[in-house]
């Protein structure tokens, strides 16, 4: 390798000091359902969320309609759409439940009182909290707000800690006979620097995975059954 080529390679490998306008480095999209003053549901997409145990922490704009709803009615459902719903999520993005539309949002957002209808989504009653769930979302977390604190250098954000009180999952993404989500069957919709992505194929699993052994046992059981070496039944099914 000559000197010029080596210098080019080194330059390509260097990290650059940049100042991006946003830091949406790839997190799941959620559709939050809350209740408006008149009891109607509000539906809002967001992607600033993370979980620790059965707590979910959300980041919202201080003046967002969702944050204001939660300030007075601290219940919500955190609905996770699958990648095929990305266009539905994007259709919701420029809509707001605030009437009148705040001055800071008027150039981009428009008021929409029926976001479920505008997005072509269906609602269903929750079991523990008042806001409804989104039928089309495979994973739905009913939750209650435990704390709401200012965030950001100027307090422009709200950091909201929620306690999940009920989990609903489509049967297709649950390991049969267990309480576990099957990571091989479930892919969240990922928001990556304002672009939508699905998960890439699995690379491996962590040492604390609760589903890897179940999937391996299930695969082995299925292979044995296909060879006729086991009899189907609850006593022989390792997934039970």
Q: Which long-range contacts (CB under 8 A, 24 or more apart) does 208-217 make?
A: 209/183, 210/180, 211/175, 211/178, 211/180, 211/181, 211/182, 211/183, 214/175, 214/178, 214/180, 214/238, 214/239, 215/175, 215/182, 215/184
Tell me if 109 sits within 8 A of 118, measured CB to CB. no
pLDDT digits over 27-41, tens only? Answer: 999 999 999 999 999
Beta strand 110-111 with 95-96 is parallel
Distance (Å, rounded) from C-alpha 239 to C-alpha 125? 31
Asked whether residue 48 carries a pLDDT value surpassing 80, the answer given is yes
8 A C-beta contact, residue 239 and residue 221: yes
Structure tokens belonging to residue 228: 């006729």
Q: Measured between alpha carbons, how far is residue 21 from residues 24, 63, 91, 194, 238 in Å?
A: 10, 20, 23, 11, 50
Alpha-carbon Rg for the chain in angstroms: 22
Residue 123 in contact with residue 67, Cβ under 8 Å? no
**Average per-residue pLDDT in the chain?**
87
What is the mean pLDDT of the segment spanning 202-214? 86
Structure-derived torsion over alpha carbons of residues 93, 44, 24, 210, reported in degrees to the nearest 10 = -130
Report pLDDT digits (tens) over 92-147. Answer: 999 999 999 988 888 899 999 999 999 999 999 999 999 999 999 999 999 999 99
- Structure confidence at residue 202 (pLDDT): 86
Instruction: Spell out the residues 6+ positions from residue 112 whose beta carbon is closer than 8 angstroms to its own.
Output: 95, 96, 97, 118
Instruction: Give the per-residue pLDDT at 3.
Output: 52
Q: What are 156's two structure tokens?
A: 């422009």
pTM exceeds 0.75 for this model = yes
Q: Which residues, in sequence order, are bridge partners of residue 150?
A: 158
Going by pLDDT thresholds of 50, 70 and 90, the confidence category of residue 5 is: low
- pLDDT the model gives residue 24: 86
């Amino acid at each position: 390798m000559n000197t010029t080529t080596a210098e080019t390679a080194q330059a390509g490998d260097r990290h650059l000091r940049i100042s991006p306008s946003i830091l949406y480095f790839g997190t799941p999209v959620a559709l939050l359902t809350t209740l408006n003053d008149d009891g109607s549901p509000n539906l809002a997409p967001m992607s600033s969320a993370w979980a620790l145990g059965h707590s979910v922490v959300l980041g919202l704009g201080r003046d967002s309609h969702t944050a204001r709803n939660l300030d007075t009615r601290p219940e919500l459902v955190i609905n996770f759409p699958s990648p095929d719903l990305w266009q539905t999520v994007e259709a919701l993005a420029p809509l707001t439940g605030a009437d009148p539309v705040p001055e800071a949002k008027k150039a981009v957002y428009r008021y929409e009182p029926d976001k479920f209808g505008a997005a072509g989504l269906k609602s269903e009653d929750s079991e523990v909290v008042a806001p409804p769930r989104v039928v089309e979302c495979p994973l739905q977390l009913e939750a209650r707000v435990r704390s709401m604190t200012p965030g950001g250098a100027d307090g422009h954000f709200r950091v909201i800690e929620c306690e999940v009180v009920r989990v609903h999952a489509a049967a297709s993404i649950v390991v049969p006979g267990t309480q576990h989500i099957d990571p091989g069957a479930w892919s969240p919709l990922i928001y990556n620097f304002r672009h939508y992505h699905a998960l890439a194929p699995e690379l491996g699993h962590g040492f604390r995975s609760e589903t890897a052994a179940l999937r391996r046992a299930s695969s082995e059981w299925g292979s044995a059954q296909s060879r006729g070496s086991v009899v189907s039944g609850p006593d022989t099914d390792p997934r039970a």
